[in-house]
């Protein structure tokens, strides 16, 4: 009898895990679809602030070229990976250790990548993705030069 209870408990935990994964996966997919917004910009890094959470941070950018003058997309349960307003932008995500103020960046939202250059030399290519981690969202809200609405 104990063997059946264990099997039933494992089966229920397995189903619960699948349901949770499906819900999170769907939420992540819907958020990432918003990245397909044709935004491209390039500029010079003028500000860096890296958190204590696995090199997650903020890269402040003086925008030199862009195909949109403004993009402010936000939600309470996830963090969009960048904000853009006129000649200033911020990228929120993994900040490679090699990144320095004065380096250049190119961000292509549709491709989901940001390239970091020292002059014309490619230093690193990093992913552009939404963040659901509360620690990252709180860090950006506290340290961004942009104003965010209060969390719900």
82 in any annotated domain: yes
10 in any annotated domain: no
User: For position 34, what pLDDT does the model report?
Assistant: 65
Closest CA to 95 of 54, 39, 149: 54
pLDDT (tens, 9 = 90+) of the chain, 152 residues, equals 567 777 777 767 766 666 555 555 566 566 666 677 889 999 999 999 999 888 999 999 999 999 877 656 666 677 889 999 989 999 999 999 999 999 999 999 999 999 999 999 999 999 998 888 999 999 999 999 988 765 54
71 in any annotated domain: yes
pTM for the full predicted model: 0.77
User: For position 42, what pLDDT does the model report?
Assistant: 97
DSSP 38-79: --EEEEEEEEEEE-SSTTEEEEEEEEEEES-SEE----SSSB
Q: How many domains does the chain have?
A: 1
4 in any annotated domain: no
User: For position 135, what pLDDT does the model report?
Assistant: 94
**Cα distance between residue 31 and residue 143, in whole Å:** 23
63 in any annotated domain: yes
23 in any annotated domain: no
Angle formed at CA 91 by CA 38 and CA 52, multiple of 5 degrees: 150
Residue-range definition of the domain harbouring residue 68 = 40-143
127 in any annotated domain: yes
**Cα distance between residue 39 and residue 71, in whole Å:** 8
98 in any annotated domain: yes
The dihedral sign for the CA sequence 78, 127, 43, 58? positive
């Amino acid at each position: 009898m104990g063997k059946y209870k264990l099997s039933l408990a494992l089966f229920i935990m397995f189903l619960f895990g699948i349901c949770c994964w499906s819900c999170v996966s769907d939420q992540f997919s819907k958020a990432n679809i918003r990245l397909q917004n044709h935004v491209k910009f390039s500029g010079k890094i003028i500000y860096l602030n890296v958190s204590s959470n696995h090199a997650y941070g903020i890269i402040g950018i003086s925008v030199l070229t862009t195909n949109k003058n403004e993009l402010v997309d936000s939600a309470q349960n996830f963090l969009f990976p960048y904000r853009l307003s006129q000649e200033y932008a911020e990228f929120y995500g993994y900040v490679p250790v090699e990144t320095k103020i004065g380096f250049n960046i190119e961000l292509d939202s549709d491709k989901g990548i940001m390239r970091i250059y020292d002059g014309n030399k490619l230093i690193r290519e990093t992913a552009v993705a939404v963040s659901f981690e509360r620690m990252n969202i709180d860090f950006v809200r506290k340290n961004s030069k942009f104003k965010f609405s209060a969390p719900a």
